[in-house]
Structure formats: C-alpha cells, structure tokens
C-alpha cells in the first residue's frame, strides 16, 4: 500500500487549539484535520447536543410534505410507507411506520421484492398501493429518479412524498413534495443525511407541527444511527449528533429487535463499527436472501419473544448469505483470471445464476482483491442487473453516467451504485466502461492507499491520550478512527501468525524508550511475519484500541501495515 500523510495544518492554529483546549499537539492536529479550529467548534464536536439539530422546515418542500400527511390523516386516507430493501430503506420504513401508527392506524409498510421488483419504486408496488386503497405513498431512501412511476401513480389517484438522499437527475418526479438536501435549490444546511435521516427530519417536522415534545422522538434514533453506519455517510454535523444519541439508545434502551440480534452475537456494548458489522448485515440479509419486510417486522416488533423468533430466522438468512457470497466471490475471481483481465482498469464479471442479493458484497470483495472499479452482473428477469463498487477517490457514478448510452437504468453514489442493462449490450458496455475509467482515473488510485494522521512515539501512547481519542467517536467517513505512524520499532522475538490459516499477525513491539512496548494484532498481516523475524527496525501504521482480558483493560495496537524502516 501507498503510505500517505494528509495532515498539513497551520502551526499557529495548532498552538491556539493547544492553549484554549489544554491538549497536546497531536490532539490539536487531529481536531484541525476534522475542521475544528476554535473552542466553540470543539465543544460541539466533543459534546453533541440534540439542540444542534437543524430546524426540519429549512428543507425544501418540508411544509408541503407535512401538510399533505396531516391532510391524509384528517381525511382518513390510507398511507403506504415505502422503502428500499437495504438497511437504510428498511430502518426508514420502520421509523416512519412506527411514528405514524403511534397515533394513526391506516398505514401500510411496503418493501419491494429485490427479485420481482428490483431497486426503488416499482410499478407493482404502486399497483399494490392502489389495491390497498392507499392515496398517499411516502417513499424513503428511493424515488428521486422515479419520474415515470410517480406519473403512473398520479394517474391512479396516488400522491407521492419522496424522502431521498441520492443524487437527483436533471429532471425530478412530479411529486407533492421532494425532501432531498442534495437538490441544488434546497437551502437545508446539512447535505449528507442518509434516507433514514431524512425520514427522521419528516417525523421531527410532523411532531413540531403537532406541538409535541421533541424528546418523544429520541427512542427512534437507534434506527437512524444504524442507517448512518450501514450507509457509510459522513459522520459529521447532524449525522454525528444523530449517531451519538442513537448509539446511546442502542446500548441503554434497545428495541426488542436490536436486543435479540445483540443477544445472538453476545455483545455487551456496541460502537458504530459493531452496528455496521453485526446489526447491518443481519438486517440486509433479510432483503438479500428472503424479503426486506422481515427486517421491518423485526424492527417494529414490541414483544421480545416474537422479536427473538424473527431474529433467529434472520440469523439463518445471514449464514446462508455468507456461504453464498463466499462461493460467488471465488467464481468471480476465477472468471477474471480465466479472461486474463487482472491488469484491466476495471473488473467486470457476469454469470446469469449468481444470487442477486449478494452481488454488492461480491463487488466489494473483488475491489479488495484487485483494487479496481468493479461491476458484478447477474440475470434479473429479461435484463442484467449489476452492483458497482469503486476505489477511494474515483467516482463510479460519473463513470456510469459517461457509459449511459448502453444502460437502461442506474443510480447511486460516488463509491456504490446499481444498474440494469439489456443482455445484448453487456459486452459493448463492458468495453465502454473500461475505456471511460482508463481515460479518467489517476493511475495512483489503482494502488491502495493508507493515510495516517500523525507520527507518534510509543511513549506518547498513554491511558490519558486514549481517553481523549475515545471522545472522537462515533467514527466513520470524514471522522475515521485515527491512524498513526511509528518508526524504528522492533519485535521482542515472539512474533507469530495466528488464526486457522495463519493469516493474522500477533507480536509485542518496542521502541528504544524504556518500557515503551505494546502488544499488537494485525488482521490479514500474517505474510509480514518475516519482516519482524529479521530483527531489523520496521515502521508501522496502527490504531489504538483497548483489549480486555480477565477483567483487565490494556491498550494494544491494531496494526494496519508494516514496512522495513527507512529512517535509522
């Protein structure tokens, strides 16, 4: 991997923060790298408050959305709460459904079938709304590109409110209201909310309009925090506040569905990483292997025994998902090798019977292997459907836009997208996509990069330093867990590989300073054992974590990469 340090900060600003906050130079630099320049900004960062949330009515069309929902309630109309089948979509449906049904009964939750309907708003979903006599659909985490679907619904006498965070196209649907801060003319101050976050702003506005206490809504922030973590949105601004209080909710007053998942996985305390890797995959597994409504049922269930039953079946779905994605990843990697495409600028693979529910995960795994913008296709009805994943710094959405002449439909973000195309266009599209990426990507981006934030000596790593670092959480995009560089460290002589296949590395490393030694673990770094056994100094990039053993808490280093030391 390329090692990089993006920590250019002003010495004057560093000194100012050290003085006003009483922190050491490293903490001051970490804060500056996160856009924090003074005492007030640091206070907001370290002490998030619900009062820091913006007025939801600053969002374009919020008044229209609230008035239409209240009109539906007054006229006793049936409302369909419609969301996508991933974590962001299903938590959004659970959130808005829970809120509305707390005071109004004629509400139907709806999640499209991944295989029968595909991503986002579908004609079939609208037909189901019509059959159920719904006259209002609230679309969550989808809908911003559903121009023809919204027009179709209007013909059937159904209005749409769209709550979406994906990029709008040049034209937007003719809905009653579109809540999406990414619209050019939306004045809302924070642009990085996930779909569930926008759903929360809608219920916040409804609650405000009904002149009720905001504190009633705090219990729903566990859903928002889960969506924030799983959808990989920046954990800055409002997202940081929502994630902070949502995690608090998960760890103190967890809803039965989350409690059941946590119990199955024997965790006492969950941070945002646990939410992403424990709760997220299980909610996703329902939509991938069965149906997203199973996840919604789990999230809205009030009875713990019933929640435990649903969680048990979802645990089973998740095991099947793991087995399936492992098998398909092996096939996809073999296909790249068989075609001799290891040195392409892209990885594009297709097999008609690959499970549509896991192709996104497979695309992520392939990106880890070849580190290229990646598309994994499978057959979906009479079309091909794909999940796209990208590498750091490259916008795959723009690359798809430049290849759009061969695509039927696409949508997504800079790093993840979905698309469909006709089978006869597959080879032509594949060539076009390769050409677009080849002509637009900086070759450096095809080599994995690891960025550290500062250089540390082992003597600086103290319990006090770690206590301050822990207050930087919750971590995520734009506020990642800090990585540090340490130079000229050596193994004490007992380094070894661990894990069933010896793929992980365990060692105790020291620097010259007396007593400056730490236990370290490097997942996936087993191949670096020889470097340590040479007893030559090495440089390491690492994060700091706590390890509990027999009731004792000790600091240990999580190794991210190791190289022979260049500085003696």
Tell me where in the chain the CATH 3.90.1640.30 domain(s) lie.
56-315
Helix (H) or strand (E) run with residue 337 in it: helix 304-339
Q: What is the pLDDT of residue 287?
A: 81
Which residue is associated with the tokens 């269930």?
301
Q: What is the pLDDT of residue 266?
A: 77
User: Residue 513: its pLDDT value, please?
Assistant: 57
For residue 391, give both structure tokens: 């590498």
Q: 486-517, pLDDT tens digit by residue? A: 999 999 989 999 998 899 999 999 987 556 89
What is the reported pTM?
A: 0.88
Quote the percentage of the chain above a pLDDT of 70: 99
Contact 383, 353 (CB under 8 A): no
For the stretch 135-155, pLDDT in tens is 999 999 999 999 999 999 999
Q: What is the pLDDT of residue 6?
A: 72
Domain 340-446 has CATH 3.10.310.30: yes
Under CATH, which number does the domain 56-315 receive? 3.90.1640.30
The stretch 371-380 carries a mean pLDDT of 95
Judged against a pLDDT cut of 70, whether residue 452 lies above it is answered with yes
Burial of 128 from C-beta contacts in 10 A (0-12 / 13-18 / 19+): middle
The pLDDT score that the predictor gives to residue 114 is 82
Least confident of 124-133, 410-419, 485-494: 410-419
Question: In this structure, what are the phi and psi dihedrals at residue 373, rounded to the nearest 5 degrees?
Answer: -55, 130
At residue 264, the pLDDT reads 80
Check residue 514 and give its pLDDT: 54
* CATH 2.40.50.460 location in the chain: 450-564
Among 177, 239, 201, 206, CA closest to 56:
201
Q: Which CATH architecture has domain 450-564?
A: Beta Barrel (2.40)
**pLDDT on residue 416:** 87
Tokens of 455: 């250089």
Q: What is the pLDDT of residue 522?
A: 96
Contacts of 11 (CB under 8 A, 6+ apart): none
């Amino acid at each position: 991997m390329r090692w990089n340090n993006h920590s250019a900060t002003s010495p004057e600003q560093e000194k100012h923060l050290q003085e006003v906050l009483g922190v050491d130079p490293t903490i001051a630099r970490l804060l500056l790298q996160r856009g924090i320049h003074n005492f007030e900004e640091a206070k907001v960062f370290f002490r998030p408050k619900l009062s820091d949330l913006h007025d939801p009515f600053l969002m374009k069309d919020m008044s229209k959305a609230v008035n239409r929902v209240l009109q539906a309630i007054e006229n006793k109309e049936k409302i369909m709460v419609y969301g996508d089948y991933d974590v962001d979509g299903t938590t959004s449906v659970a959130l808005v459904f829970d809120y509305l049904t707390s005071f109004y009964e004629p509400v139907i939750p709806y999640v499209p079938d991944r295989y029968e309907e595909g991503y986002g708003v579908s004609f079939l979903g609208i037909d189901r709304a019509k059959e159920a006599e719904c006259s209002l659909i609230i679309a969550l985490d989808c809908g911003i590109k559903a121009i023809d679907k919204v027009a179709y619904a209007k013909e059937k006498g159904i209005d749409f409110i769209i709550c979406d965070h994906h990029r709008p196209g040049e034209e937007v649907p003719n809905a009653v209201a579109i809540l999406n801060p990414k619209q050019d003319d939306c004045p809302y101050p924070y642009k990085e909310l996930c779909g569930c976050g926008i759903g929360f702003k809608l219920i916040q506005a409804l609650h405000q309009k009904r002149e009720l206490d905001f504190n009633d809504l705090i219990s729903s922030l566990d859903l928002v925090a889960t969506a924030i973590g799983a959808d990989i949105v920046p954990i800055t601004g409002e997202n940081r506040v929502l994630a902070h209080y949502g995690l608090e909710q998960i760890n103190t007053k967890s809803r039965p569905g989350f409690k059941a998942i946590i119990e199955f996985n024997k965790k006492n305390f969950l941070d945002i990483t646990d939410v992403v890797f424990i709760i997220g995959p299980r909610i996703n597994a329902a939509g991938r292997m069965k149906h997203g409504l199973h996840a919604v049922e789990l999230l809205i269930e009030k009875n713990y025994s019933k929640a435990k039953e649903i969680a048990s079946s979802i645990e089973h779905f998740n095991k099947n998902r793991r087995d399936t994605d492992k098998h398909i990843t092996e096939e996809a990697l073999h296909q790249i090798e068989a075609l001799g495409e290891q040195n392409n600028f892209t990885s594009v693979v297709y097999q008609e019977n690959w499970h549509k529910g896991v192709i996104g995960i497979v695309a992520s795994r392939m990106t880890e292997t070849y580190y290229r913008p990646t598309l994994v296709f499978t057959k979906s009805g009479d079309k091909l459907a794909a999940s796209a994943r990208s590498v750091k710094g490259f916008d795959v959405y723009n690359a798809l836009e430049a290849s759009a002449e061969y695509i039927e439909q696409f949508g997504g973000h800079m790093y993840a997208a979905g698309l469909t195309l006709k089978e006869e266009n597959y080879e032509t599209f594949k060539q076009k996509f390769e050409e677009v990426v080849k002509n637009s990507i900086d070759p450096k981006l095809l080599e994995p990069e690891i960025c550290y934030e500062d250089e540390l000596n082992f003597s600086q790593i103290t319990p006090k330093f770690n206590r301050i670092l822990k207050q930087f959480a919750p971590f995520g995009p734009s506020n990642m867990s800090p990585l540090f560089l340490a130079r000229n460290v050596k193994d004490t002589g007992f380094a070894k590989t661990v894990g069933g296949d010896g793929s992980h590395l365990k060692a105790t490393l020291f620097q010259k300073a007396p007593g400056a030694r730490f236990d370290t673990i490097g997942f996936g770094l087993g191949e670096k054992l020889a470097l340590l056994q040479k007893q030559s100094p090495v440089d390491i990039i690492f994060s700091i974590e706590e390890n509990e053993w027999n009731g004792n808490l000790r600091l240990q280093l999580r190794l991210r990469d190791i190289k022979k030391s260049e500085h003696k």
